Amino acid sequence: MGPHESSRITSLSPFSMESLLFNDLNIENKKTKEEYDFYRFLVADIHGIARCKIVTKSAYPRMSKKGPGIAWRTVVLSFDSFNNYELTRTDGKPCTDARLIVEQSVPRPLSWAGKGHSIAGIVCETWWGVDHQPQMACPRYMARRLCEQLESEFKLRILHASEMEFTIFNENRQPLFDEGSFYISQEFAFHEEELLSLSKMCENAGIPIETLQTEYGPGQIELVLKPEYGIEGADNEFLFKNAAKEMLQKPGQRSRCTFMSKPIKDKVGNGNHYNHSLWRVKDNGDVEDAMWDGSQQCKMTKTAQHWLAGILKHSPALAALCSPTVNCWRRLHVESGEHDIGTPDNITWGLESRDTMIRVIARGAGKGTYLENRSPGAAMNPYLGLAAMVAAGMDGIRNKLELPVEGPATNEFGKLPKSLDDALTALEEDKAMVEALGQEFVTWFNGAKRNEIESLKKYTQENGGDSFKAEMDFYSTWI
């Protein structure tokens, strides 16, 4: 995972950055902001679902500065209803209307949208409307804030990309193809028209896709995005997931494509292996590899060792953010002989080991030395995944945490929690993670997720006790 010049992070305002970032993005249709008919002001809620306001061409110049108003609970809305449980600001100020504010983001052409109208998408954050302060619970703001802290405190940037798996169904709610089609060109050819169109339109929107393939599971596709620094990488993953859901759905088949972590009960699940590396920022603004050290047995610098130790230590809390739905936990803690046995639940690491939770790939300075966290599920919100890794890694560096002995049998930090509810408790009790992520986010996130757990219990009762059917009905439309 080498550095990319297109991913510079600066302290410029979002508007002075526009020409810089816009020119860097791989966008074929380089319209100016006045040329689009409509604009989607997009924000990721805590689930990673894209919520938006449509802004007209005439209103865009003003809205790009002021931001359109939006309900202040937007980032914690449920899948199925408007949550009315009590929420407060940690600073004690009243909760008032919010606005969608453009921060370090530019218009991207959404060539699959509009049906004859040109539409641009702009990734936003939710800020309070009265005092113009960011909502601390906004996933994108939190991730961006932590990436900026990583650079200001440690002179480091995180370069990351996920292996993004999803499942496609046919009109009969059966997988689009059978299992056993892993890497088979003939199977991909059956579906290449829409998959290649998906890739091309994403590229036009500045979402750089590197590889596509049929995966092991039935109806399972994997795409890998080009690694990018910090918030830009999370923006790309957020936009890709939304684009795939939109482009692959058909009339009467809203749930045709899903990033559920376990969309088929007795088959392999969808993962979101999180690959990332660290790069040190030099005084002249260039970056250099902060991971590789051939003199160490583990082949990593002390900084990288401390970073990894922090992620291992805080993995119980991270599990709430990396496996954030009830359905995700069907992919974890499986018994021998069941599907997904390769999904790790022991909190371990190993050099070039696929049997550990975090695999260290060490191939030399600037030649692809990085970490692969194999535990996240496909339903992970990209912003929360980024925020989680940065928060935990910084704690490891700050406190110079020692890396435990490697290997799948090593179990110094135990296992991941047994359920989403247990993971939420682990997050609440992890003081370092709460401090890094912010009490407002943890309170709002945990409240929304516990509300989700109760809603699923209700849906399960309504489905005659069939919890898996309840999960499919609850999650698959939007996840």
Structure tokens at 130: 């009265």
Instruction: Give the rounded distance of the alpha carbon of 319 from its chain centre.
Output: 13
Mean pLDDT (whole number) for 313-322: 98
pLDDT digits (tens, 9 = 90+) for 388-439: 999 999 999 999 999 999 887 766 788 999 999 999 999 999 999 999 999 9
pLDDT of residue 96: 86
pLDDT confidence bin for 256, thresholds 50/70/90 = very high
Please tell me the distance from the alpha carbon of residue 356 to that of residue 249, in angstroms, as a whole number: 36
Please tell me the distance from the alpha carbon of residue 264 to that of residue 27, in angstroms, as a whole number: 36
pLDDT of residue 354: 87
The DSSP bridge pattern shows strands 349-351 and 358-361 to be parallel
pLDDT of residue 333: 82
Please tell me the distance from the alpha carbon of residue 112 to that of residue 197, in angstroms, as a whole number: 9
In which region does residue 335 sit, left (phi positive, over 0), alpha (psi from -120 to 50) or beta (all else)? beta
The CA angle 48-322-310, to the nearest 5 degrees, is 130
Range of the domain at 113: 5-137
Mean pLDDT (whole number) for 323-348: 80
Whether residue 195 is predicted with pLDDT greater than 70 in this model: the reply is: yes
Structure tokens at 258: 């899903």
Please tell me the distance from the alpha carbon of residue 89 to that of residue 94, in angstroms, as a whole number: 7
Q: Say if residues 102 and 42 touch (Cβ distance below 8 Å).
A: no
Whether residue 67 is predicted with pLDDT greater than 60 in this model: the reply is: yes
Output the 3-class SS for 114-130. Answer: CCCCCEEEEEEEEEECC
Rg, C-alpha atoms of the chain: 21
Mean pLDDT (whole number) for 290-305: 95
pLDDT of residue 227: 96
Give how many domains the chain has, as a whole number: 1
Residue 105: inside a domain, yes or no?
yes
Q: Residue 315 contacts by C-beta under 8 Å, 6 or more apart in sequence? A: 347, 357, 375, 392, 413, 416
Whether residue 23 is predicted with pLDDT greater than 70 in this model: the reply is: no
Residue 275: inside a domain, yes or no?
no
Structure tokens at 4: 């990319």
- Beta strands per DSSP E along 230-340: 257-258, 272-281, 287-289
pLDDT confidence bin for 140, thresholds 50/70/90 = very high
Q: Say if residues 153 and 231 touch (Cβ distance below 8 Å).
A: no
The SS3 of residue 11 is coil
Output the 3-class SS for 133-201. Answer: CECCCCHHHHHHHHHHHHHHHHCEEEEEEEEEEEEEECCCCCECCCCCCCCCHHHHHHHHHHHHHHHHH
pLDDT confidence bin for 443, thresholds 50/70/90 = very high
Phi and psi at residue 38, to the nearest 5° = -145, 160
Phi and psi at residue 244, to the nearest 5° = -60, -45
Residue 103: inside a domain, yes or no?
yes
Whether residue 32 is predicted with pLDDT greater than 60 in this model: the reply is: no
Mean pLDDT (whole number) for 126-131: 90
Phi and psi at residue 107, to the nearest 5° = -65, 135
> Would you say how long the chain is, in residues?
479
Whether residue 29 is predicted with pLDDT greater than 90 in this model: the reply is: no
Average pLDDT of every residue of the chain = 89
Residue 21: inside a domain, yes or no?
yes
**Minimal CA–CA distance to 318: which of 357, 260, 362, 281?**
357
Q: Residue 264 contacts by C-beta under 8 Å, 6 or more apart in sequence? A: 167, 175, 217, 218, 219
Residue 16: inside a domain, yes or no?
yes
Please tell me the distance from the alpha carbon of residue 470 to that of residue 466, in angstroms, as a whole number: 6
Q: Say if residues 144 and 231 touch (Cβ distance below 8 Å).
A: yes
pLDDT of residue 337: 52
pLDDT digits (tens, 9 = 90+) for 236-251: 999 999 999 999 998 8
| C-alpha count within 13 angstroms, C-beta hemisphere, residue 459 | 19
Please tell me the distance from the alpha carbon of residue 169 to that of residue 203, in angstroms, as a whole number: 24
What predicted TM-score, i.e. pTM, was given to this entire model? 0.91
CATH at residue 78 = 3.10.20.70
**Minimal CA–CA distance to 287: which of 14, 12, 6, 22?**
6
Whether residue 21 is predicted with pLDDT greater than 60 in this model: the reply is: no
Please tell me the distance from the alpha carbon of residue 186 to that of residue 169, in angstroms, as a whole number: 18
Structure tokens at 42: 């997009």
Structure tokens at 139: 């996933």
The DSSP bridge pattern shows strands 272-281 and 370-373 to be antiparallel
pLDDT of residue 19: 33
Please tell me the distance from the alpha carbon of residue 424 to that of residue 316, in angstroms, as a whole number: 9
pLDDT digits (tens, 9 = 90+) for 75-124: 999 877 666 667 888 888 888 889 999 988 899 999 999 889 999 999 99
Mean pLDDT (whole number) for 206-233: 96
Residue 162: inside a domain, yes or no?
no
Residue 452: inside a domain, yes or no?
no
pLDDT confidence bin for 335, thresholds 50/70/90 = low
Mean pLDDT (whole number) for 183-210: 96
The DSSP bridge pattern shows strands 209-214 and 220-225 to be antiparallel
Please tell me the distance from the alpha carbon of residue 401 to that of residue 309, in angstroms, as a whole number: 6
Long-range contacts of 86-90 (CB under 8 A, 24+ apart): 87/443, 87/444, 87/447, 89/128, 89/136, 89/440, 90/136, 90/438, 90/439, 90/440, 90/443
- Other CB atoms within 10 A of residue 408 CB: 15
Structure tokens at 344: 């790790």
Residue 274: inside a domain, yes or no?
no
pLDDT confidence bin for 34, thresholds 50/70/90 = low
